[in-house]
Amino acid sequence: MEIDRARLLAERLHADDCEEDGTALLEHIRRVVRRVDADVQVVAWLHEVLEWTVVPEPELLREGLESDELRALRLLHRPDDARSDGVYLAHVGLIARAAGRAGRLARLVKIADLQDRCLHPRVRADGWSPPYARGLALLMHDDVGTAPPCRQIPSAHTRSAVSRPDLLQGAGREVLFAQMDRRADSR
């Protein structure tokens, strides 16, 4: 899909979407787009579309979305909105280990998304806010339990976080999930 087409689609689909504090969702989306390179901007423009709208996937494909871009959007989408740090971090962990171009696109967008959320957190009506810094640390191969405050994570580290996708895959994922669950349960 062309970047301009993705932008127009996002602007149309999210025209009336506002976050809990009344801020237009498009403000967040635009900030995420500014944080990524051009080859990732289509997914950045559309990264909230499966979560916030009811647009059917075939319509996105008819609009010109490539299959890898759709796979990246699926990776970014959390089908349920469980208010659980463990569930949230497990989802980020799946993105961290996703293979191929779709995995790379999803990781780059999620890193930009989490960097923006660290600066502009989304606090749900019930007071819960996802563990953005811990998710960002997970994507950047840091220890999830000792994530630094978001403002201390340098943007330049983003490229190196995805330069070795082989490190993001493997049989250790069950161990990682168990560690995340134990940490979440102990809080």
Per-residue pLDDT of the chain (187 residues; tens, 9 = 90+): 999 999 999 999 999 999 888 899 999 999 999 999 999 999 999 999 999 999 999 999 999 999 999 999 999 998 777 788 889 999 999 999 999 999 999 999 999 999 999 998 888 778 888 899 999 999 987 444 444 445 444 333 333 333 333 333 333 334 444 444 444 444 4
CA distance 89 to 69: 22
How far apart, in whole angstroms, are the C-alpha atoms of residue 17 and residue 14? Answer: 5
Angle at 25 between CA 22 and CA 28, to 5 degrees: 115
24 has which bridge partners? 18
Which structural domain, as residue segments, surrounds residue 170?
A: 3-186
pLDDT for the residue 34:
97
Q: What is the CATH number of the domain that holds 70?
A: 1.10.3210
pLDDT given at position 109:
97
pTM over 0.85: no
- The count of domains in the chain is 1
